[in-house]
Structure 1
């Protein structure tokens, strides 16, 4: 029987790729060349910083470097090495970027590490420019602010699955020894292994141990805000201290990060864009905190936030007497005991009350609680604790009932932010990225946001605003 399949050689593959790439590239480059001039958005401070670093005898213009990174993201080119290879074989791409010769890899790397703050300024200029366009496309969707937390997985040894498996094996060995010396005690192997993991990566202290996306890892944490069109409005790198407590569940640690990160992020955002107005705020249950509701109420933004069941424990709720002191849930005749003010970074001060049947003692320099209740309302050894914030009723006294149809329809739009974050990570090919430096990694994220907004402007000017984030259609 004759062989029907034709054997391919390298020349055939190379010619087919060149034909496919140039055909799609020319369409994209022609659209970019026709509708987009990156110089219209570059702040003067960016020019001044760039020219002060490289002088008048520079090899590459600022516009050419920015165009190269934007095209890299739109085409989802995974690495700078591959970008350099494509620039070397494509005269059309070099001409579009404005390169007479192809930059070295180190020149791309230095650009990201030197001009992080200037890239942030460029991003904010594009946010201002695209806000008017988004209002023209859909005034309703542009009036909705959606926020979500995410993490960019760093390229460090600790993120290798083998690293956690090695800690797990050590934990199992320790469990065998522990069971012999403490036969009646329960040893949690996974929690012990997680507790033994370092709090940050050895090669990058900014990559901190975090529970994100359903697993522990070393991430650069950030909080991203979009409107309901999916356009990125704000990216804030929330570099908080790592206070991962072994006694907390991973979900509790994530909730703590989410609830504390919202107000600093939004406050920075509104300082940069004081004229921006939003009618609704959409967020997942991680943002269900009293302080967040009070802040949004102050900004005249209606919160659409799902209640976090971990913030609403199934315990009998204490009442209050005539002067506002909480009462024992089991015996309303017993007022709870005042225990001072709880002050915590990133949260409002709270008044702390203790169970009336608990005694707080200092034994050998350590604070201990002795509970003398025969029918406790909580399994906690220190008894029931009630902490009251000034605006603690905002969580339940929402302007729009959570069981209403309008609330449910609005809350479904929250996934738009998640899809937008996924698109940004696809731009920089985060799963295959091998960027170790924190500054370069932040620059990659900002370049992804800049590329999304440039693509949005391009789609709008090309008359395809019914799908404002259909970026793949540009290269299809």
Structure 2
């Protein structure tokens, strides 16, 4: 199918939502009443658990609670307090939600705390529903899978900018002391301050220190996937260590996390939706890893991933002999020496080769490499090391060249996921709502995703009436 740079995206029309709601809220409610039956999207297990204790004697129905949260998200109401105030004021909103009286704040909070897993199941059910609708609207955009990592800041003390500044002031004071003792000291103030930051927030162990969104903070890390429309396909709260170990820079640490998180995330996604098929996968440079290319190749998905310059060494690259053994970069007559298999959690096993002029010995009970070379090709004391995965050539041997027009136009579609993530964060208004609980935060995220998919279904169903597919302005008319 030919690729156009002016594809139709859900985000092209979502920006018109605010104007639409402000001008004609009653029309919105009537359209939701006409085209959306929320009970169709509620899994039976969700209803069963919700009514398991009190049965039909619950003061507020499951449908009413869900509609209240969906309305809150679509209208970008920042807090539950404001939602309650609007429900008290607006008879139309209360009638739409089916409330005879307005729930109090604790009832909304308990709903999020008690039914987080059920909200996740409902979200995945809506993903199944909207997948078929997306294919009907545009098969090409629905054949694209885009993944990116992000973080949701929790309302903890450590996320106050003053917290890091206090650590920085202590580091500067310590640096002055070192300067007096050693005028030639190369003490790194920022690195020291970062090392003194606690690994997780004192009030919530799930809020871990990360370098995300261009700054340090205490986040609930997640991996989000969308299709070419920008419709959320998956939210995975995959976790791994993401600290400043091995003297890595913050960006290198983030890249390492991104690269390792993709395969577990996609494995979980395809286990929930085994019938989903995609032709293209789009990802940024953080996902540029040999294992990811091999995994996508096995899934018959074409990877469109930009190269990460931090993964490309400026050292001379070794050639290979006729049996696949790498050769010394400066003397091809010397084959490198096999040194076993490197195994690391979250990565494929790699064959390790070391410099032929390195002697491996045991010093004080520890394995030590001693290099004896007059003209070494690296500054490393261990000499040159080459590690090969079975599928290491997939990274460069892409299905079509990275400098081709088709590759460039496809990669431009990747930015749609950044707008989707921004939309979800705008829905939950996390800084305004001041969420402290991890469970409540996850429920807010799933409710935001549910709201986006319900809005898409509304737009899809209303197109038959307005003859203008996915154009919100046609609904106003």
TM above 0.5, yes or no, is yes
Counterpart-to-counterpart distance in 2, 1:473 and 1:174: 64
Counterpart position of 2:195: 195
Counterpart-to-counterpart distance in 2, 1:74 and 1:425: 12
Counterpart position of 1:59: 59
Which of 296-305 and 345-354 deviates more?
345-354
Using the TM superposition, give the Cα deviation of residue 106 of structure 1 relative to its aligned residue in structure 2, in angstroms: 1.1
TM-aligned CA distance change 1:73 to 1:268, over 3 Å: same
Counterpart position of 2:30: 30
Using the TM superposition, give the Cα deviation of residue 246 of structure 1 relative to its aligned residue in structure 2, in angstroms: 5.5
TM-aligned CA distance change 1:467 to 1:312, over 3 Å: farther
Q: Is the 8 A contact 1:459 1:465 kept in 2?
A: no
Query: Structure 2: which 5+ runs fail to align?
Result: 1-19
Counterpart position of 2:316: 316
After TM superposition, the structure 1 = structure 2 runs for residues 38-437 of structure 1, keeping only pairs within 5 Å, are 38-245=38-245, 247-437=247-437
**Could you say what the CA RMSD is over the residues aligned between the two structures, in angstroms?**
2.1
Q: Is the 8 A contact 1:145 1:226 kept in 2?
A: yes
TM-aligned CA distance change 1:308 to 1:473, over 3 Å: farther
Q: Is the 8 A contact 1:75 1:475 kept in 2?
A: no
Q: Is the 8 A contact 1:199 1:242 kept in 2?
A: no
TM-aligned CA distance change 1:242 to 1:258, over 3 Å: closer
May I ask how many residue pairs the two structures share in their alignment? 456
Summarize deviations over 1:266-312 as a string: whole Å, max 9, x none: 11111111111111111001111111111111111111011111111
Q: Is the 8 A contact 2:201 2:207 kept in 1?
A: yes
Summarize deviations over 1:410-431 as a string: whole Å, max 9, x none: 0000001111111111111133
Using the TM superposition, give the Cα deviation of residue 337 of structure 1 relative to its aligned residue in structure 2, in angstroms: 2.8
Using the TM superposition, give the Cα deviation of residue 474 of structure 1 relative to its aligned residue in structure 2, in angstroms: 7.0
Which of 342-351 and 327-336 deviates more?
327-336
SS at match of 1:378: coil
SS at match of 1:380: coil
Q: Is the 8 A contact 2:242 2:257 kept in 1?
A: no
Q: Is the 8 A contact 2:21 2:28 kept in 1?
A: no
The TM-score with structure 2 as length reference comes to 0.91
Query: Structure 1: which 5+ runs fail to align?
Result: 1-19
Counterpart-to-counterpart distance in 1, 2:221 and 2:473: 27
Counterpart-to-counterpart distance in 2, 1:311 and 1:121: 38
Counterpart-to-counterpart distance in 2, 1:236 and 1:41: 21
SS at match of 1:52: coil
Counterpart-to-counterpart distance in 2, 1:474 and 1:151: 34
Using the TM superposition, give the Cα deviation of residue 210 of structure 1 relative to its aligned residue in structure 2, in angstroms: 0.9
SS at match of 1:222: strand
Using the TM superposition, give the Cα deviation of residue 259 of structure 1 relative to its aligned residue in structure 2, in angstroms: 0.7
